[in-house]
Structure 1
């Protein structure tokens, strides 16, 4: 694939990273931060892999598929954790949605790369 075809997924990756950072920051403001530790850790992991994957795609890395698969897995895990809090925390709901979109985009693109 030509790297210009990666633009939509790079945008999704950057958006997911930003949403995860927002969620982690908001979780730190919650009254019971100890209850949110796993969510915060996964938010940070997801943000990091999304940014790294976006960078890999931007430079047309030979390892793009590996990055995409790892990113999809971490987005899935983060999304599942945020879903647990989505009913009473808007930032977790928004993060879970962003993670699901990003996971789907990563899996879709990874399936096209040999």
Structure 2
């Protein structure tokens, strides 16, 4: 099977989606869930757009680059929100999100 030309971006999106899903689950278990509501919301949106971006790249959609530009914007927002929280799962997620945003922007350029 040939390597997908988007493979680096696909890998970054999958890692980000995984980190967001882990963060989402961990945030729901925090004592002050209300304080984590924006983080939880962005984790969901980010995981969803990353999954959609992966599917678009895997199928060589003519909209893959446009979808990845949107993905980068959502990943950036999620990463910035997660950076505000000291929990390890949020810091791990922030790193994955910000990396994904960078990779998506580079791929779409």
TM-score range, shorter chain: over 0.9
Count how many residue pairs are aligned between Structure 1 and Structure 2.
108
Gaps of 5+ in 2: none
Q: Is the CA contact (8 Å cut-off) linking 2:8 and 2:103 kept in structure 1?
A: no
SS in 2 for 1:37: helix
**Structure 2 CA distance for aligned equivalents of residues 78 and 89 of structure 1:** 15
- After the TM superposition, list the runs of 4 or more consecutive aligned residues in structure 1 that deviate by more than 3 angstroms: none
**Structure 2 CA distance for aligned equivalents of residues 3 and 62 of structure 1:** 18
Q: 1:45 and 2:45 equivalent?
A: yes
Q: Greater CA deviation, 7-16 or 19-28?
A: 7-16
Q: 1:68 and 2:68 equivalent?
A: yes
SS in 1 for 2:6: helix
Match of 1:89 in 2: 87
Equivalent positions of 1:1-114 (< 5 A) are 4-85=4-85, 88-111=86-109
CA RMSD of aligned residues (A): 1.2
TM-score relative to the length of structure 1: 0.92
Gaps of 5+ in 1: none
**Structure 2 CA distance for aligned equivalents of residues 40 and 4 of structure 1:** 31
Q: Is the CA contact (8 Å cut-off) linking 1:83 and 1:96 kept in structure 2?
A: yes
